[in-house]
Structure 1
Amino acid sequence: MMAGLGDRSVIPFQAYTGDDPYLFVSFSHADKGEVYPELLRLHNKGYRIWYDEGITPGKDWMEVIPHAIEKSSFFILFTSPNIIGSKYISREITYAIEIDKPFLAIFLEETTLPSKLKFQINVYQHLFKYELSLVEYNQKLMEVLPEATLDENIAKKPDIDPFAVLFDVALEVFDSGDHATAIMMFQRIVKLDPSNINAWINLSIAYSEQKWHQEAIEAARKAVELDQENPRAWMALGIAYFNKERSNVEAINAFRKALSFNSLRISERKEAWRKIGYACKRDGNWDDSIDAYKHAIKCDPDDGSSWLYLSRALEMIGRKQEAMAAYRKGVDLGW
């Protein structure tokens, strides 16, 4: 992101490395947006979990993985079409079966397995998560997982808010650049908690980063519906419209609504004014564009790029001396 989760820059928690019983988890990294929330939830319940983020840099994968499977008390395979063809997951499955490790396959979605893989895991327990309600899934999963892998000290602590933990990880994922995975995480949060306005806001922003403009607009609208007095919801809606072609008027209106709230942070006010300036420029409204850039400069007089934007707008309507002065100011500020 653009070191992504697959690049190990962001992980939900450190994999277990002790000598007590633990769960070994195998999955495709293409499914991390679905799997990481599950691992977080189990981790917060007190389960000891090893997954391949537990490989210390420099260690030999062919040595670490078999050793981790051997020491584990239970093998979980998160199953989806993404595991098909993965030689690494195939080796993990084969080895777990060879040493007769207790085994559970959790199907994240309907998956047609190749004959060999189907033959390997068909005799073991299965959970079809996509067919079950969250309550049913949790109940069945808790019945299967060995109690020995549960850390009683952690389990006795007050419950950790799973939404808060997942939200924090989703933000880290987003900040590191993996917007596609962040989208999957925020989608999961709003599915489980449709009133989570911050998740809707960040889902909209993540959609915007992926250029999924209509989805971004719809998520931001949902945030605004939940709280019309939330300036960040209006900012998200403004950004979503701003990134969609021919939506300048809607973008400007949303940004102006955000600016009407005193609680909007100064950095966000500057961003809103600059985007208003650019949206006005796209519509050829140069006077309004100049006015907006001047407001952005008031928010942060030392931002050289705002001065350069102002310079270009002034130049377009023939105010060349003012344009040159603004340009020099921007250059002096190190733009």
Structure 2
Amino acid sequence: MTETMKKADLAEVIADLEKVVQEKPENIMARHHLGLVYRQAGRIDEAIAALEKVIEQDNQSMESMINLGAIFFERGDTDRALELNQRALAVSPKMAEAHVNIGLIRQHRNEVNEAVASYTTAVQIDPRLITAWINLTSAYTMLEEDDKAVEAAQQAVTLEPDSPMARNNLAVALYFKGEFKEAQRNLEKAQELGYSVDLRFVDALRGKLTEADGQ
């Protein structure tokens, strides 16, 4: 399917949903999906308006809060993104995705200890949520807590052995722990899986392996 056809399909879906919403303004589900499709089509202001209307109609609409929060995060408005995810948690405290999102926002703000707390809560709620383990790895790496970073990365790889990001994060965590050969093995696996690795990291790891071989 060509890109033009995809855009045409999106336009058709948008037109259908707009008709439904116009005829039945109380149809919250249709308006929610309209907001998602607007976002997919790059019509961000309209996506925001649609999702905000859903939340206005139903203050329990967690999915709309989460998706609207993602839009504001992408726009750099972390205050609004944080507020929306906190509202979602007020509705459902065990919503692991919202805890991960709050962790990501905190990490983006360099509030790394708070980010770790949010990711930890997420994996306690859903131990199989790989995004939480991946983000927890990077947060621990930022805090130079290398053992915990490796443990989190290994959890992610156990859940999804073919996750390129999990393999790359494990390689980075192992590097900082000084386990360079294992780091190289996981980095090579990440590359095999299509991950675009940081060439500076490749050079740094190569240097450490050369030093180790020379001893």
TM-score band, normalised by shorter chain: 0.7 to 0.9
User: How far apart are the structure 2 equivalents of 1:256 and 1:188?
Assistant: 32
Higher relative contact order (CA 8 A, sep 6+): 1
Match of 2:35 among 153, 161, 170: 170
Tell whether the 8 Å contact from 2:14 to 2:38 is kept in structure 1 after alignment.
no
- SS for the counterpart of 1:246 is coil
Greater fraction of residues in helix: 2
Displacement of 1:215: 0.7
Paired position in structure 2 for 1:295: 155
Q: Match for 1:306: what amino acid?
A: A
Displacement of 1:249: 1.8
Note the alpha carbon deviations across 1:2-48, whole angstroms, 9 max, x for none: x9xxx76345334xxxxxxxxxxxxxxxxxxxxx86x6433337xxx
Greater fraction of residues in strand: 1
Normalised to the residue count of structure 1, the TM-score between the two structures is 0.50
Tell whether the 8 Å contact from 1:200 to 1:219 is kept in structure 2 after alignment.
yes
User: How far apart are the structure 1 equivalents of 2:121 and 2:132?
Assistant: 10
User: How far apart are the structure 1 equivalents of 2:84 and 2:192?
Assistant: 40
Match of 2:53 among 188, 192, 197: 188
Map 1:197-208 to 2 at 5 A.
197-208=62-73
Tell whether the 8 Å contact from 1:179 to 1:210 is kept in structure 2 after alignment.
no
Q: Match for 2:154: what amino acid?
A: K
User: How far apart are the structure 2 equivalents of 1:274 and 1:320?
Assistant: 20
Paired position in structure 1 for 2:22: 42
Q: Match for 1:256: what amino acid?
A: T
Match of 1:275 among 107, 116, 135: 135
User: How far apart are the structure 2 equivalents of 1:229 and 1:304?
Assistant: 28
User: How far apart are the structure 2 equivalents of 1:256 and 1:175?
Assistant: 31
Aligned length: 188
Q: Is the alpha carbon distance of 1:274 and 1:179 closer, same or farther for their aligned partners in structure 2, counting shifts above 3 Å? A: farther
Tell whether the 8 Å contact from 1:12 to 1:40 is kept in structure 2 after alignment.
no
Normalised to the residue count of structure 2, the TM-score between the two structures is 0.75
User: How far apart are the structure 2 equivalents of 1:229 and 1:311?
Assistant: 31
- SS for the counterpart of 1:260 is helix
- Runs of 4 or more, structure 1, over 6 Å off, are none
User: How far apart are the structure 1 equivalents of 2:94 and 2:31?
Assistant: 25
Match of 1:225 among 72, 90, 109: 90
Paired position in structure 2 for 1:308: 168
Q: Is the alpha carbon distance of 1:305 and 1:246 closer, same or farther for their aligned partners in structure 2, counting shifts above 3 Å? A: closer
Note the alpha carbon deviations across 1:82-141, whole angstroms, 9 max, x for none: xxxxxxxxxxxxxxxxxxxxxxxxxxxxxxxxxxxxxxxxxxxxxxxxxxxxxxxxxxxx
User: How far apart are the structure 1 equivalents of 2:144 and 2:39?
Assistant: 34
Map 1:1-335 to 2 at 5 A.
9-10=10-11, 11-14=13-16, 40-44=20-24, 161-242=26-107, 244-262=108-126, 266=128, 269-335=129-195
Q: Is the alpha carbon distance of 1:308 and 1:236 closer, same or farther for their aligned partners in structure 2, counting shifts above 3 Å? A: closer
Q: Which runs of 5+ in 1 are unaligned?
A: 15-35, 46-160
User: How far apart are the structure 1 equivalents of 2:57 and 2:183?
Assistant: 52
Displacement of 1:178: 4.1
Displacement of 1:177: 4.3
Displacement of 1:222: 0.9
Percent sequence identity over aligned pairs: 18
The RMSD of aligned alpha carbons is 2.5
Q: Which runs of 5+ in 2 are unaligned?
A: 196-215
Q: Match for 1:220: what amino acid?
A: N
Note the alpha carbon deviations across 1:232-258, whole angstroms, 9 max, x for none: 33233223323x322222222222212
Q: Match for 1:246: what amino acid?
A: N
In our comparison, the structure showing a higher alpha carbon Rg is 1
